[in-house]
Amino acid sequence: MTTFKFTLAYDGTDFVGWQRQARGRSVQALLEEALSRIERAPVAIVGAGRTDGGAHALGQVASATLTHSIDAATLRRALNATLPSDLRVLAAEPAPPEFNARHAARSKTYRYHIVCDEIIGPFDRRFAWHVPGPLNLAAMRDAAGRFEGRHDFRAFQSTGSSVVSMVRTILCSRLTASPRSETGTQIIYDVTGDGFLRHMVRVMVGTLIEVGSGRLNVNDIDEIIASRDRQTAGPTAPAHGLFLVHVAYGPDQESADQLTGPA
């Protein structure tokens, strides 16, 4: 038996999300079906994060164990030969038998794309939130920094989650902007944390937009975190602007569990 670590990229537009569901096209289901054809038996795959329907990945990580004898390079080629073009296996590599892509993750980095312009182009509409603006970028940068540190983020969690603890550590929360046209701006929000609650990044982005539009001020971020009340935070940003960029792993399972806590 060999445990494999997979690095994946996908355009989430036509997926219901990572997780297999009763209806709809999921990343997990397609991978499990492709692996089962190679294994000639059912295969379960574990993802580092359960991306939402419509959200994308540049560096999702997954793990699965196979009894079929196959080298990593051949496995990657075989999977990409059968998977649809909007889902690619970027890398496949042997991992320790106990490796679990979800439990061993020490941190995840997400990126959110916003186009602040009168018009959004046809090649941006699937991968960025169109906010006509204008927005106060300096206030948004300041507000983004307020998320850093260890906090109870229940004010930024959507309903439907069963996690025990809402406490998470945000290691880096940064907003950058660059000119996109004579009138428009491309805004990128990058956030790295030891774990994220359901829709947490999307609610953080929605709250930053409220700050940028003047409906909230920078100091409100601290009060929203302290309130632990979802009603005080901004709206949930659309899923199609969100990308899972990177999942970081440590040298051993024990230290990863200590850092991440309940997922």
| pLDDT tens digits for range 160-190 | 677 889 999 999 999 999 988 777 899 999 9
> According to the model, what pLDDT value does residue 39 have?
95
Instruction: Please state which CATH number belongs to domain 2-95.
Output: 3.30.70.580
Q: CATH 3.30.70.660 region(s) of the chain?
A: 106-249
Q: CATH 3.30.70.580 region(s) of the chain?
A: 2-95
What average pLDDT score do residues 150-158 get? Answer: 96
Catalytic annotation present for 11: no
* Sign of the alpha-carbon dihedral angle for 102, 105, 107, 109: negative
Check if the beta carbon of residue 193 is closer than 8 Å to that of residue 49: no
- Going by C-alpha positions, the residue among 166, 168, 145 that lies closest to residue 222 is 145
SS3 172: strand
What average pLDDT score do residues 54-83 get? Answer: 97
Residue 51 has pLDDT above 90, yes or no: yes
Residue spans of beta strands (DSSP E) within 97-162: 105-116, 129-130, 149-152
What average pLDDT score do residues 224-233 get? Answer: 97
Residue 128 has pLDDT above 50, yes or no: yes
Other beta carbons within 10 angstroms of residue 93's beta carbon come to 12
Q: Copy the structure tokens of residue 195.
A: 């774990």
Q: 3-state DSSP helix/strand/coil percent for the chain, to nearest 5?
A: 30, 30, 40
Q: What is the dihedral of CA 120, 121, 125, 130, to 10 degrees?
A: -10
Task: Identify the residue whose tokens are 């419509």.
Answer: 54
SS3 75: helix
Residue 252 has pLDDT above 60, yes or no: no
Q: Copy the structure tokens of residue 101.
A: 């892509």
Catalytic entry in 52, 117, 124, 194: 52
Residue 125's identity, in one-letter code, is R
> According to the model, what pLDDT value does residue 250 have?
82
Higher pLDDT, 251 or 73: 73
Q: Copy the structure tokens of residue 122.
A: 């046809």
Q: What CATH class is the domain 106-249?
A: alpha beta
Residue 222 to residue 242: CA distance in whole angstroms: 24
Using alpha carbons, list the distances in angstroms from residue 138 to 64, 203, 252. Answer: 44, 19, 40
Q: Copy the structure tokens of residue 36.
A: 């089962």
Lowest mean pLDDT among 1-10, 135-144, 173-182: 173-182
* Sign of the alpha-carbon dihedral angle for 217, 143, 12, 152: negative
> According to the model, what pLDDT value does residue 111 have?
98
